[in-house]
Amino acid sequence: MKLISIGCSFLYGYYKRGEGCNKDYSAGYHLSNMMGRDWLNESDCGIGNDLICERLITSHQSNKINPKDTFVLIGWTEAFRKKIFVNDKVYIDFRPPVTLSDKGLYNIKDKSLYSEYFMNSNQMYYDFLKSILTSYYLLENYGYKYFMFDSINTMHDGSHNLLDDYTIGKEWIPQEFVNVKNEIKNYSKLNYFNYLKELEKNNDFPYCSKEDLHPNQYGAKSFAKKLYKEINKW
C-alpha cells in the first residue's frame, strides 16, 4: 500500500537552502507512516499546479500508482507558477515577478511572460481551476482515495495579499468551474502556510524555517496529524 504526495516544496521535504530533500520535513512522509503506507514523493521545489496535475496523470498512466493500493495527497500551490517553454528551453518552476522591473528567477527578456500575463488574476484562477478539475475527474473516474488542500494561498499577488478580482462569466471563468471546485468534498480548508504561521505565533517551539516558513520535522509532523484527523472524517 502506498501514499503519493504531490505538491511544491512544502510537501517535497525542503526546509532551507542547501539542505536538499529530507523526508522528515515532509508532511506526506509523516502521514504515510500514520496510515501504514509506503511513501512515494512526486513533489518538487517551486513547481506550479499545472505540473502537480501533470505528475498525477503521468504517475497514473505509467502504473506508478493505481487506485487499488494508492492514496493520493495533493497540496496545491501559488497559481501563478508555471511550466513554460521559451524557444529551446523549458522551465518547470517558472515564477514570474510581481512587477515588470523585477526580473524574477529567470532573466527572460520577453516581458509578455511576466506580470502582464501570468500575474493577471483571471488567468491565474482560470489555469488553477483547470488543474484542479482535471485532477479531480481523473481521481474520481478511476476510484482513487485522495485528499487535497492548499499548501500556500493559491491566489495572491506574490506577497501573500489575497486576490479575488476575477470575472465570472461565459467568456471569462465559467461559474460551473467554480461550482465543481467548491463541491469537492475531499478538498480541505486546511492551509499549510497559514497553519505554520499560527504555530510560530502561538508557540516558542520552532516548527518552521524563520527564512521562509518552510516546515521542519516538527511542523511537518504536526500538520500531518491535522491531515490524518481530517482524512478520517470522510
Closest alpha carbon to 50 in 76, 87, 11: 76
Using CA atoms of 22, 201, 159, 123 in order, give the dihedral in degrees to the nearest 10.
70
Per residue in 35-69, pLDDT tens? 999 999 999 999 999 999 999 999 999 999 999 99
Confidence grade of residue 202 (pLDDT, cut at 50, 70, 90): confident
pTM for this predicted structure: 0.92
Strands 38-41 and 2-7: parallel
| Digit-coded pLDDT (tens) for 97-153 | 765 555 555 556 555 555 677 788 899 999 999 999 999 999 999 999 999 999 999
CA-based angle 179:189:195, to the nearest 5? 150
Give me the pLDDT at residue 125, please: 94
Joined grid coordinates for residue 203: 508557540
Q: CA 69 to CA 114: how far, in whole Å?
A: 41
